[in-house]
């Protein structure tokens, strides 16, 4: 899809992304048997209007929980800034190829595929009795360190030493003597170190994110059935709103001519990383003093993993995992020419790209809010198909008109698809609700991490399939700059294929329960299977190693 849609796809990588699964199994006290992962009591008795655990509906803005909102705000800031630098920094400043940019976008979110392991560690190995807050502090410290390293590394010169040369087609270079001497052809290879550092920064903030996810599941399960989902909607609205702020920061910081923008001056990449590091400093004390957490004893790891294995054998679990993984492979299929088309056909400036992403995130929040107010009991399957069709129609109109030069404008390319963020927000938040229904007491973080891991493991497969299939069309930066009939036809084929893959992903909806009560019913009556549970573990481990 075009850039606005792509930005939203990156965010969903809880984006698609954003449900995590496997949290804690507490160790029994002396003289007691280990209880492992327990089914929420609401399945056996009625607790406060169908709540899954006792405690009453949480007040997120109280002193006990307000720090949790700051956690997701901090995640939103880092998650909003780092991926948003890929287009202006890699594509425009360093002139990386479309394949390189696609690879970079995948690597920056690759750590999301390891959330389940963070969940297991957090569940099983409390630090001074606390399972969440210490890991949040460690995660933010790692992220802070990586940002500081990026802040002190020299960037080097841009690919186009004269920014005006970016608008000259390679076939016209003979008409411009000396232009070859003004190209820094070593620039495209310099982005790798920054991508790796951003990936390690993501490993850090995801440690904090997974720990926060475990607390979110605990709070969400305290909500009565009629309003369950409100906690998730609130924390993800906060995160999406701050992601929008991150886009604003990146847009104005990288709107200089070297980054494909219009300003005579702009911040450097290291300076932006330093600013981001400074913004994270207050998160450390807030994490410790404004999040309430009870102490837990260390779990017996062998018993915990045994209980987790029993959990994966449940039909409700392996069926929803199957849906998330295989539908995700097709739903995340894209096309490699998206970024070069935006750069060389549409000439999108970083500031306009960021402003579009800002509006997109705000509309994404609006979609989440719509579900919170009216859609907590909507049919999940129906809504996912409807919102998907709307996204394809709106995005397709804009994309094909642009590719074939019927009308080209930055705001047409960026603005029209912004509207798809409302249905995207609706479809995404609904897809996270099943996670809370599956998690039991003692496995909140790991289960929430597992489901996010499953979704994100499908993304590298989709990215690889995209690159393998699109490779035969050879959609290079040079061909897109030439902009003749042949490249337009090749890009069109790749876009149509992407939409077709999205439609194929809907075939897997038969494996997704229709609503929260259907998940609970499947847990009670679905039974279990060691064979299917084993197959599930096998293909997930294969996907993890392969990615």
pLDDT surpassing 80 at residue 25: no
Phi and psi of 256, rounded to 5°?
Answer: -75, 165
Q: Which single residue is written with the structure tokens 């009670």? A: 524
**Contact by Cβ (8 Å): 330, 462:** yes
Band of residue 547 on the pLDDT scale cut at 50, 70, 90: low
Contact 12, 425 (CB under 8 A): no
CA gap 27, 418 in Å, rounded:
48
In this predicted structure, what is the pLDDT of residue 30? 34
Sort residue 49 into left (φ over 0), alpha (ψ -120 to 50) or beta: left
Minimum mean pLDDT among 93-107, 269-283, 306-320: which range? Answer: 93-107
pLDDT the model gives residue 47: 59
Residue by residue, DSSP assigns 365-401 as HHHHHHIIIIITTS-HHHHHHHHHHHHHHHHHHHHHH
Euclidean distance between CA atoms 355 and 244, whole angstroms: 9
> In the 8-state DSSP scheme, what is residue 161?
S
> What counts of helices (H) and strands (E) characterise the chain?
21, 0
Q: What span, in angstroms and rounded, lies between the C-alpha atoms of 346 and 398?
A: 12
Q: Which of 150-159, 186-195, 310-319 has the lowest mean pLDDT?
A: 186-195
Mean pLDDT of 287-297: 87
Residue 435 or residue 76, greater confidence: 76
Q: Is it the case that residue 41 has pLDDT exceeding 70?
A: no
Q: What's domain 73-546's superfamily in CATH?
A: MFS general substrate transporter like domains (1.20.1250.20)
What is the structure's pLDDT at 170? Answer: 75
* Short-list 124, 368, 364, CA closest to 247: 364
Q: How confident is the model at residue 374 (pLDDT cuts 50, 70, 90)?
A: confident
Instruction: Of 543, 173, 135, 538, give the one whose Cα is nearest residue 332.
Output: 543
Of 221 and 398, the structure prediction assigns the larger pLDDT to 398
CA gyration radius, the chain: 23
Cα distance between the two ends of the chain: 23
- Higher-pLDDT residue of 546, 240: 240
Q: Could you identify the residue written with the tokens 């655990």?
A: 53
> Please, how many CA atoms are within 13 Å of residue 414, restricted to the half-sphere of its CB?
24
Give tens-digit pLDDT for 419-474: 777 877 777 777 677 777 776 666 667 887 888 788 778 877 888 888 888 888 98
Rounded Cα gap, residues 386 and 382, in angstroms = 6
- Give the DSSP H/E element, type plus range, for residue 296: none
pLDDT-derived band at 46 (thresholds 50, 70, 90) equals low
Rounded mean pLDDT of 122-127? 89
- SS3 string, 486-537, reads HHHHHHHHHHHHHHHHHHHHHHHHHHCCCCHHHHHHHHHHCCECHHHHHHHH
Q: Is the pLDDT of residue 33 over 90?
A: no
Residue 48 is predicted with a pLDDT of 61
User: pLDDT per residue over 49-75, tens digit each?
Assistant: 777 777 777 788 888 889 999 999 999
Supply 456's token pair. 């994100």
Instruction: Report the b/e string of 1-10 with b at 16+ CB within 10 A.
Output: bbbbbbbbbb
Amino acid 8: pLDDT: 41
Average of per-residue pLDDT across 216-223: 81
The per-residue pLDDT for 440 is: 66
Q: Identify the weakest region by mean pLDDT among 157-161, 287-291, 379-383, 474-478.
A: 157-161
Assign residue 318 a region (left: φ > 0; alpha: ψ between -120 and 50; beta: otherwise). alpha
**Cα(385)–Cα(504) distance, integer angstroms:** 11
| Separation of alpha carbons 307 and 53, rounded Å | 19
**Local confidence band at 489 (pLDDT 50, 70, 90 cut-offs):** very high
Which residues are within 8 A (CB) of 61 and not within 5 positions of it... i.e. 6 or more apart? 69
**Res. 14 pLDDT band, cuts 50 70 90:** very low
* Cα→Cα distances 100→127, 128, 292, Å: 40, 44, 43
Tell me the β-bridge partners of 446. Answer: 21
Q: How far apart are CA 133 and CA 114, in angstroms?
A: 19
Q: Which two tokens stand for residue 384?
A: 């996912």
| Average pLDDT estimate for 109-131 | 86
Closest CA relative to residue 229, chosen from 221, 241, 237: 221
Mean pLDDT of the chain: 81
In 3D space, the residue among 360, 376, 373 whose CA is nearest the CA of residue 423 turns out to be 360
| Over residues 5-16, mean pLDDT | 39
């Amino acid at each position: 899809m075009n850039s606005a849609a792509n930005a939203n796809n990156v965010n969903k990588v809880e984006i698609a992304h954003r449900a995590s699964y496997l949290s804690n199994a507490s160790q029994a006290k002396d003289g007691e048997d280990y209880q492992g992962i327990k089914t929420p009591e609401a399945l056996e008795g009625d607790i406060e209007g169908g709540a899954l655990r006792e405690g009453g509906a949480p007040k997120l803005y109280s002193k006990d929980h307000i720090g949790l909102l700051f956690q997701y705000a901090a995640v939103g800031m880092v998650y909003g800034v780092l991926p948003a630098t890929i287009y202006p920094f890699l594509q425009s400043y360093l002139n990386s190829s479309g394949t390189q940019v696609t690879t970079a976008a995948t690597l920056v979110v690759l750590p999301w595929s390891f959330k389940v392991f963070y969940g297991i560690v957090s569940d099983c190995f409390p630090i001074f009795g606390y399972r969440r807050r210490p890991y949040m502090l460690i995660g933010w410290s790692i992220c802070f360190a990586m940002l500081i390293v990026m802040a002190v590394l020299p960037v080097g010169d841009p690919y186009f030493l004269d920014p005006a040369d970016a608008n000259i087609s390679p076939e016209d270079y003979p008409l411009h003597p000396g232009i070859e001497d003004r190209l820094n052809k070593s620039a495209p290879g310099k982005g790798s170190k920054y991508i790796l550092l951003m990936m390690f920064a993501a490993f850090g903030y995801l440690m904090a994110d997974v720990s926060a996810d475990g607390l979110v599941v605990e709070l969400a399960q305290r909500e009565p059935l009629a309003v369950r989902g409100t906690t998730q909607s609130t924390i993800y609205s906060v995160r999406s709103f701050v992601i929008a702020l991150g886009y604003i920061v990146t847009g104005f910081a990288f709107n200089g001519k070297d980054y494909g923008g219009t300003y005579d001056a702009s911040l450097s990449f290291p300076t932006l990383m330093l600013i981001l590091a400074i913004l994270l400093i207050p998160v450390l004390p807030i994490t410790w003093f404004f999040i309430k957490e009870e102490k837990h004893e260390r779990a017996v790891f062998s018993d915990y993993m045994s209980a987790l294995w029993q959990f994966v054998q449940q039909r409700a679990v392996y069926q929803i995992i199957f849906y998330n993984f295989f539908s995700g492979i097709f739903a995340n299929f894209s096309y490699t020419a998206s970024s070069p088309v935006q750069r060389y056909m549409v000439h999108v400036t970083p500031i306009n790209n960021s402003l579009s992403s800002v509006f997109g995130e705000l509309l994404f929040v609006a979609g989440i809010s719509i579900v919170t107010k009216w859609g907590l009991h909507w049919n999940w399957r129906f809504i996912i198909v409807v919102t998907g069709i709307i996204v394809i129609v709106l995005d397709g109109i804009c994309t094909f008109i642009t590719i074939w030069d019927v009308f080209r404008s930055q705001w047409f390319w960026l603005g029209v698809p912004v509207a798809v963020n409302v249905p995207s927000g609706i479809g995404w938040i609904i897809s996270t609700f099943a996670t809370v229904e599956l998690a039991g007491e003692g496995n909140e973080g790991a289960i929430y991490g597992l489901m996010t891991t499953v979704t994100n493991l499908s993304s590298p497969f989709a990215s690889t399939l995209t690159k393998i299939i699109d490779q035969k069309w050879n959609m290079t930066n040079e061909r897109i700059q030439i902009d003749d009939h042949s490249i337009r036809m090749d890009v069109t084929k790749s876009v149509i294929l992407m939409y077709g893959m999205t439609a194929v992903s809907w075939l897997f909806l038969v494996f997704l329960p229709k609503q929260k009560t259907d998940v609970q019913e499947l847990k009670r009556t679905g039974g279990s299977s060691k064979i299917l549970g084993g197959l599930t573990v096998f293909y997930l481990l294969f996907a993890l190693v392969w990615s």
